[in-house]
Amino acid sequence: MEDHLQKLKTELRVEGGHLTFQNQHLLMISCPWFTALQLELENTLGAMGTASLIKTAARTWGERMLAIYTPQVQGMTLEEKTRYILETYNFKGWGQSELVEFNDAPPRIVVRKTDPYFENTYKGSAEESRCYLYLGVMAIIAGFAISEQFPNLEVTETKCIAKGDPHCEFVLEPKQED
Ligand SMILES: [Zn+2]
């Protein structure tokens, strides 16, 4: 076990903001595999370190994807772009997401997600939301919603099956000033 963890740590890297394992981008792997990795990371780095690492990787990935999707969604409204991204990632096997609330000025986009990848992992025992990876998909949508008038948006996972909620829910809205 000790050797296994040691090996895992040496093969896991953050390079240029991307999380890689054995030189492969982690966001291209399967959900069960990723779930196991996240648990393993929580055991070694702790919950906060893991959250920070995966959130950073997810956001960086989302920003890269934004550049790829931008020409594909040209001419669509923000709501159409949002639905396009949600449908694309439902189709790619990232769970089932639906748009439950939409407003574009100020932006407020609420996405409900059932069938997340952590359903049987935390069994409702987590204290905080755990679907860090999906923040990458939300980062693509945030990129479309950012405007001169609303330059600072943030995404929060307000409900999560991992902490016992009936579904996961992500809210994108202007960043609250402290
Ligand atoms: Zn969740």
Q: Rounded CA gap, 147 and 154, in Å?
A: 13
- The CA 3 to ligand 1 mean position distance, Å, reads 31
Q: Please tell me the least confidently modeled range out of 9-13, 58-62, 83-87.
A: 9-13
- The CA 131 to ligand 1 mean position distance, Å, reads 4
pTM: 0.81
Give the fold, CATH level 3, of 2-174: Muramoyl-pentapeptide Carboxypeptidase; domain 2 (3.30.1380)
Q: Which of 79, 37, 50, 85 is CA-nearest to residue 65?
A: 85
- The CA 13 to ligand 1 mean position distance, Å, reads 24
CA angle centred on 16, ends 12 and 22, rounded to 5°: 25
121-160 tens-digit pLDDT: 888 888 999 999 899 999 999 999 999 999 999 999 999 9
Domains of the chain by residue range: 2-174
- The CA 129 to ligand 1 mean position distance, Å, reads 5
